[in-house]
Structure 1
Amino acid sequence: MTSADEKLDVQLVHDDALQALKRIKSGSAKLIVTSPPYNIGKEYERDKKMSLEDYLAWLKPIVKQCHRVLADDGSICWQTGNYVDKGVVHPLDFYFYEMFIDLGMQLRNRIIWRFNFGLHATKRFSGRYETLLWFTKSNEYQFNLDPVRVPQLYPGKKHSSAKGEQRAGKPSGNPKGKNPSDYWEFSASNAFLDDPVWDIPNVKSNHPEKTIHPCQFPHELAERCILAFTKPEDLVIDPFLGAGTTAIASVKAGRRVIGIDKDERYIGVAVERVAAVKRGELNLRPSGRAVRAPKANESVAQVPSEWGEDVNGEA
């Protein structure tokens, strides 16, 4: 499929992101949520690694088209990491921030996405977080707090007398839950249920959502953006759809979606996954479930004998 019709509930487009975006009506999308390639040599990126300047020049017109198709009260959630060249780290959100600000957009949150697992570095600290930039096109925008609230950490906490006689001794928290912070933790703790952070694991080999795509983000990340920044039947667009995560989250939430990807294999995977989620048969990790931590008596938690003595004070 090479065209995009924002009137359809689900449109999965095999095409170049820039060309497909140009065919979408201006101001039609309420939310754009995506994670563009990082230019780090993944199989879905260009035949050869671009210079940082060429990479940014490639994405700049795509960012401009995203701005054009976005409604005046719409949002963009741009999730990105780092470009690394000869061991030197270039935080990509820094460059994208400038692009969006130059278009007159306003940054509402710079969200830190932290996770426990990834490639280990040898000449610098191992990278364990990425960023999600939430921009709005104007001061009028959708923000639905209730669907993404997390439980209160201290539900029994009371107002002190310093707050005045009318509030003294009464619960200080909101019974619906509290506003999540701009720090979404991907750890082995039960953060989503007990703390004011969000706990979502990154998609690795044993993750139930894992497909042939080498760099998926979890559906819960897209789902939270969609629930917070849109309402039912709004249009969501992902110009770098990959394995279809944004489309799946949109279908689950009752939103319309246009997903674009230049790789026909990934579009095929996305079509299958969307069909499965509509049938209620797609294997997804439940939103809000904590990452499992190994118990102290499990073999993976034991210090290997091959490491010798005096490792953490144990044999």
Structure 2
Amino acid sequence: MTAIARTEQHLDLSGHHRLIQGDAFAELDDLAEGSFSLVITSPPYNIGKEYERDQRLSLDEYLRWLEPIVEKVCEKVKADGHICWQVGNYVAGGQVYPLDYYFYEMLKKQGFKLRNRIIWHFNFGLHALRRFSGRYETLLWFSKSDDYYFNLEPVLIPQLYPGKRHSSKKGDKAGSPSGNPKGKNPSDFWTFDANEAFFDMPIWDLPNVKANHPEKTIHPCSFPSELVERCVLALTKPGDVVLDPFVGAGTTVIAAAKNNRIGVGIDKSGQYIEVARQRLSDLELGELVTRPMGAPVRRPRSGERVSTIPEEWLSK
């Protein structure tokens, strides 16, 4: 059964968070420059999702559309703030174009500095026939300056080898425990399971929002709340303001609200904004269902129907 979590207390969210219906390029003009500690978003990938079908663009057209939005977004970030830009791949004519490559160049051009390139791995998606099926996306974490806020404490994970000690030849530390008793830096490989080891590989392993995922809405391409929450917890302080210029079903604003930050989201779809408002209301009432941080990714058990080889395959 998929793990879920409900807000245990009612939250007073009135007068704080903003959900704005409109075009990101235009609406960003009404937001104060240097006012956001974190911008985290997943822009449209131009791959034919329902919200893209009226404007399927060539790769060059797509990049020309987003570059001025990126420029405006950069102006809204505080001096010690961050941008987390999460994207997949653009596919055309059987060729794959890694979108993070293009957005890296855009954000570098604005003076931002890449701190991590994180790989988000998931198990389910479209199956390819003439290439290996895509099962990852990337999240680029940029800071605006070298003087940026970063707090590991909320995202530390248990030490893999808590009994490990310094060498007997390490001077004052000889023989003493070598790790931090509070936990270990998860580096850029996150399984979102506090009971498993975190290895030095740039992969975050958590399920995407499909089918029976508790956060599934009418939006076809939401990113999971725990991906956003990890960034919110590590890169912002309580009371900070977080922006998502392509907020969709409201995941970023909800992640901000759950963790005592203020969320601002923009989306051109009135339908998605209404879904986001309802989810925010459900959060306030303690009724919003989400997948809790740290829950292991569910694997089918031996003997379950979905893990049993069909009889039709046995004869092949």
Q: Under a length normalisation based on structure 2, what TM-score does the superposition of the two structures give?
A: 0.91
Whether 1:207 aligns to 2:213 is: yes
Asked whether 1:281 is paired with 2:281, we answer no
CA contact (8 A) 1:112 1:184 kept: no
Q: How does 1:258-297 map to 2 (within 5 A)?
A: 258-297=264-303
Displacement after TM superposition at 1:191 (Å): 4.3
Opposite residue 306 of structure 1, the aligned amino acid is E
Question: In 1, distance between residues paired with 2:51 and 2:92?
Answer: 19
1:181 correspondence with 2:187: yes
- 1:85 to partner: Cα distance: 0.2
Verify the 8 A CA contact 1:237 1:257 in the aligned structure 2. yes
- Which residue matches 2:309? 303
Stretches of structure 2 that go unaligned for 5 or more consecutive residues are 1-13
> Take 1:57 and 1:192, find their aligned partners in 2: how far apart are those partners?
41
Partner of 1:3: none
Encode CA deviations 1:120-176: one digit per residue, 9 max, x unaligned.
1110011111100011111111101000111112222222324x2533332222111
- Secondary structure class of the residue paired with 2:131: coil
Q: Does 1:136 align with 2:148?
A: no
Amino acid at match of 2:240: D
Number of aligned residue pairs: 299
Is 1:115 the equivalent of 2:122? yes
Structure 2 residue 54 is matched with structure 1 residue 50? no
Question: What is the distance in 2 between the residues matched to 1:155 and 1:294?
Answer: 31
Aligned residue type for 2:61: D
Q: Secondary structure at the match of 1:161?
A: coil
Give distance in 2, aligned partners of 1:130 and 1:83: 11
- Counterpart Cα distance in 2 of 1:271 and 1:177: 36
SS of 1:166's partner is helix
For the 8 Å contact 2:71–2:110, the answer to whether it is kept is yes
* Distance in 2 (alpha carbons) for counterparts of 1:104 and 1:118: 34
User: Residue 202 and residue 55 in structure 1: after superposition, are their counterparts in 2 closer, same or farther (change >3 A)?
Assistant: same
Matched, 1:35 2:37: no
| Residue 9 (structure 2) aligns with | none
Equivalents in 2 of 1:202, 1:173: separation in Å?
33
Aligned structure 1 segments of 4 or more residues deviating by more than 6 angstroms: none
Q: Is contact 2:40-2:243 (8 Å) kept?
A: yes
C-alpha distance in structure 2 between counterparts of 1:213 and 1:261, whole Å: 12
Aligned AA for 2:93?
K
Mapping for residues 96-107 of structure 1, pairs under 5 Å: 96-107=103-114
Asked if 2 retains the 8 angstrom alpha-carbon contact of 1:150 and 1:179, the reply is yes
Aligned to 2:78: 71
The equivalent of 1:154 in structure 2 is: 161
192-201 or 214-223: which moved more? 192-201
C-alpha displacement at 1:8, in angstroms? 5.0
Deviation at 1:306, TM superposition (A): 0.8
1:248 paired with 2:254, answer: yes
SS of alignment partner, residue 148 of structure 2: coil
How far does the alpha carbon of each residue in 1:10-44 deviate from its partner, in whole angstroms, 9 at most, with x for none? Answer: 00000101111111111111110000000000011
- Show the counterpart of 1:313: none
Out of 179, 195, 198, the residue aligned to residue 196 of structure 1 is 198
Do the aligned residues in 2 keep the contact of 1:199 with 1:290 (CA within 8 Å)?
no
Say whether the 8 Å CA contact 2:118–2:138 is kept in structure 1.
yes
Counterpart position of 1:20: 27
- Contact in 2 for aligned 1:111/1:182 (Cα 8 Å): yes
Contact 1:29 1:236 (8 Å CA) reproduced: yes
Q: Residue 41 of structure 1 contacts residue 49 of structure 1 at CA under 8 Å; is this kept in 2? A: yes
Identity over aligned residues, as a percent?
A: 59
Q: Secondary structure at the match of 1:184?
A: coil
Structure 1 residue identity aligned to 2:157: V
* Superposition deviation, residue 48 in structure 1: 3.5
Higher RCO, 1 vs 2 (CA within 8 Å, ≥6 residues apart): 2
